[in-house]
Amino acid sequence: MVTPSTWRGLKLSHPSAFRNLAVEEAMAKAFSNSVRREPTLRMWTNPRSVVVGRFQNLADEVDIEQCESHKVQIVRRFTGGGTVFHDEATLNLTIVTCRSEGSTDLSFQERNLQLVEEALHGLGSRSSISGNSILIGGRKVCGSAAAVGLHYVLWHCSILVGSNTELLKMVLRPSRLKVQSRFVHSRWQEVTTLTQALSKPFGTNEIENAIEKTVEARWKIRLERGRLSPEEETLSDALYSSKYTSSEWNINGNRWPAERAIDLHNDCRMRSLNALDRLNLLDHHLR
């Protein structure tokens, strides 16, 4: 794989989970449309929120009453994978690049997880990769999901830096039993945070800096501070207003009526890279 020497680095967070997820999808769509296909690394945080995978059934994964009681936003992302909890002490990392420069199989996820793991090792953790997650002492500290389109590959992960794990357990309820349905189900797994695992308080800024240094050293690239392009701004506004703030998408995951007008590159071949999605959907088809 030929890696460009310069990547765009974004530190862009909105106070709304709906807006943050709209930006994620807009980055992928604009990447496909743009003549200048600049690889991007984005680091960002969400307010208290539950983020559901594209192919999941909300009622199976989330305690909606607890979310309402604790003012936790519920939003569905456009990539696969399981349901995760975010708060201001959860660092999210996104990598979007040209499909020809990124693998279209699970090695793309493995490559990115190895990078995050190396950054965490530099902070003193003894972590290990398991599937699409990073574990410390057998407990999950980072989970990831990805999608590949006609022209792009997008991967993102969530790192539990100092997250409220008690609230996480209250608002998430992944089934510990196999459910007979066509939906993708999250696997139950105990979690921890970097602060808990290493007995040392960490801020998201410390992890951001560690990841930046590891990216530049490992991939021999230079990150240049950037901002969203006009096209990304336009797409994220459209996705936010018509998709990510609609109950049709966030609750049911259905395609929304305005999709064709927004999806400029009509990337109908976009698919998840998540192995769990593949196994669940294959299991459904076999039945």
Rounded CA Rg of the chain = 18
Mean pLDDT for all residues in the chain:
83
- Strand-pair category, 222-225 with 90-98: unpaired
Q: Model pTM?
A: 0.85
State residue 65's pLDDT score.
94
Cβ atoms within 10 Å of 2's Cβ, excluding its own:
6
Q: Categorize the per-residue pLDDT at 284 as very low, low, confident or very high, splitting at 50, 70 and 90.
A: very low
* 139-195 pLDDT per residue, tens: 999 999 988 888 888 999 999 999 999 999 999 986 444 444 445 545 557 999 999
Residues shown for the chain: 287
Comparison of pLDDT for 268 and 126, the residue scoring more:
126
- Cβ atoms of 94 and 155 within 8 Å: the answer is yes
The domain spans of the chain are: 6-286
Q: Is the pLDDT of residue 45 over 90?
A: yes
Q: Is the pLDDT of residue 260 over 60?
A: no
Task: Give the list of residues 6+ apart from residue 12 with CB closer than 8 angstroms, or none.
Answer: 23, 42, 44, 227, 228
Mean pLDDT along residues 3-22: 91
Q: At 176, list the tokens.
A: 């510990």
Q: Which amino acid, residue 113?
A: L
State residue 106's pLDDT score.
61
State residue 124's pLDDT score.
94
- Cβ atoms of 249 and 32 within 8 Å: the answer is no
* 75-86 pLDDT per residue, tens: 999 998 889 999
State residue 258's pLDDT score.
52
Task: Give the list of residues 6+ apart from residue 85 with CB closer than 8 angstroms, or none.
Answer: 49, 50, 51, 72, 163, 167, 168, 171, 172
* 225-248 pLDDT per residue, tens: 999 999 999 999 999 999 999 988
Q: Which CATH architecture has domain 6-286?
A: 2-Layer Sandwich (3.30)
State residue 164's pLDDT score.
97
State residue 100's pLDDT score.
67
- Cβ atoms of 134 and 194 within 8 Å: the answer is no
